[in-house]
Structure 1
Amino acid sequence: MKKIRKGFTLIEMVIVLFIISLLLLIMIPNLAAQKNRADEKSTEAFKTTLVTATDLYLENNPDKDVTDKGKKANVTTEELKAGGYITNSQVNRAKKIGINEKDNIFDHFKNLESENPS
């Protein structure tokens, strides 16, 4: 008579769990690094969005473009939100990266500042 096999043996289950744990050990550190890189890229893209919104604001408000000392104008996220250039969620995200509503955007992003012809 032939023996009918039902299910897996204990050793087969242990081997499968071992393989799964090895795969997880390889993947988890990689996933964390990928998430960090994605967060950094997302923050850089958001900074670019803020500078672009500020440039649009200055295009539509040329009287605010240059201060009397020749520096970039003082543009805040509060002004951009009031003008409809950014949303409330973007203001909240700016706060998360350290830009308060009364802060000058150009003080935070000197390296992203685009060339605005005066």
Structure 2
Amino acid sequence: MFKKINSRKKKGFTLVEMVMVLFIIAMLMLLILPNLSQQKDNATKKSNEAFRTTIQTQVDLTYKPGDAKLEKLESDGVISSKQKERADKMKMKITDGKVVLPEDKVTNPA
């Protein structure tokens, strides 16, 4: 009778093994997920800065410092309507020929 119990083949994982695997996966998730969030924020900031630089280049090449406005850029065909919408969404302004984002005013008070 004891031989039959001991001779059973081990199939599958024990509960302890499964809990350990879940614990390790949870720890890896704790390390990875915050980093992904930071990467997304960094990518958004870089994208916004690149867009601002693009608009600034268009302003510098096309208009005198006091003449540029986002509406004029769009009506003259210098930027597309999608670019104008994105600029409005970002609350981008053109002041004295310089393209300014709201966060620029906070970090660069000058």
Partner of 1:99: 92
Q: Which has the higher contact order (CA 8 A, sep 6+)?
A: 1
Partner of 1:11: 16
Structure 1, gaps ≥5 residues long = 59-64, 66-71, 112-118
1:22 Cα deviation from its structure 2 partner: 0.3
Checking the alignment, whether the CA contact within 8 Å between 1:80 and 1:86 is kept in structure 2 is yes
Partner of 2:73: 80
CA 1:48–1:105: 2 relative to 1, 3 Å: farther
CA 1:45–1:105: 2 relative to 1, 3 Å: farther
Deviations 1:65-98 (A, max 9, x none): 2xxxxxx223111111122221112111111221
RMSD, aligned α-carbons:
2.3
* Rg larger in structure: 2
The percent identity for this pair of structures is 41
CA 1:57–1:42: 2 relative to 1, 3 Å: same
1:46 aligns with 2:51: yes
Checking the alignment, whether the CA contact within 8 Å between 1:77 and 1:105 is kept in structure 2 is no
CA 1:107–1:57: 2 relative to 1, 3 Å: closer
CA 1:34–1:105: 2 relative to 1, 3 Å: farther
Partner of 1:23: 28
Give the structure with the higher percent helix: 2
79-88 or 18-27: bigger deviation: 79-88
TM-score by length of 2: 0.73
TM-score by length of 1: 0.68
Structure 2, gaps ≥5 residues long = 105-110
1:43 Cα deviation from its structure 2 partner: 1.0
- Secondary structure, aligned partner of 2:84: helix
Aligned residues: 96
